[in-house]
Amino acid sequence: MDLPRPGSEHEWLKQLVGEWTFEAACDHGPDGTPFKGEGRETVRMLGDLWMVGESTGDLPGGGTMTAVITLGYDPARGRFVGSWVGSPMANMFVYEGTLDADRRALTLDTTGPDFADPAKTARYRDIIEIVSGSERLLRSERHADGRWHEMMRARYRRA
């Protein structure tokens, strides 16, 4: 059996490895007002094919959350794949995505509970953009009314 070999997509993921601090802002917290928070993330590789990140940060309305993200690249599908789970949610978000032409931004599509109506599902996407070797952005968007709406933006800096 031939084992998969890491490719350029796996090398791209290695840019995320390290200790990070972040500042995040979302359009509204539980009471409908804008929210700003901060946190930390530790990212490592699991072998040469998977990236695993664990973060802790402020929750809208108070408290702290922990989240885990996994990302890899599936050469058979030609797509990045992964997952995201967070301590305040019972849902696992399963990702599938692609890099942009400049190889600066990874767009990860997923579905999950509609935050406006938990009885329904909604389309979401997270976009990880490399700004420099020591800075990156994360934008979370929700699809509604036929277009994408930004819900949250975070700026990560190497700790």
For position 30, what pLDDT does the model report? 60
For position 117, what pLDDT does the model report? 85
* CA separation for the pair 22, 36 (Å, rounded): 11
Other C-beta atoms closer than 10 Å to the C-beta of 86 total 17
In this predicted structure, the answer to whether residue 29 has a pLDDT above a threshold of 70 is no
Q: pTM for the complete prediction?
A: 0.94
Distances (CA, A) of 153 to 2, 6, 38: 40, 30, 11
* CA separation for the pair 20, 155 (Å, rounded): 10
Average pLDDT over residues 5-28: 95
In this predicted structure, the answer to whether residue 31 has a pLDDT above a threshold of 70 is no
pLDDT tens column, 116-145: 788 899 999 999 999 999 999 999 999 999
Q: Is the Cβ–Cβ distance between 60 and 29 less than 8 Å? A: yes
The tokens for 89 are 């949610």
Domain 8-158 has CATH 3.40.50.300: no
pLDDT tens column, 46-97: 999 999 999 999 988 789 999 999 999 999 999 999 999 999 999 999 999 9
> If you search the block for the tokens 């990140």, which residue do you land on?
53
| DSSP codes joined into one string, 30-73 | TTSS-EEEEEEEEEEEETTTEEEEEEEEEPTTSSEEEEEEEEEE
pLDDT tens column, 34-59: 889 999 999 999 999 999 999 999 98
For position 33, what pLDDT does the model report? 80
3-state secondary structure 96-119: EEEECCCCCEEEEEEEEECCCCCC
For position 53, what pLDDT does the model report? 98
Domain boundaries of the chain, sorted by first residue: 8-158
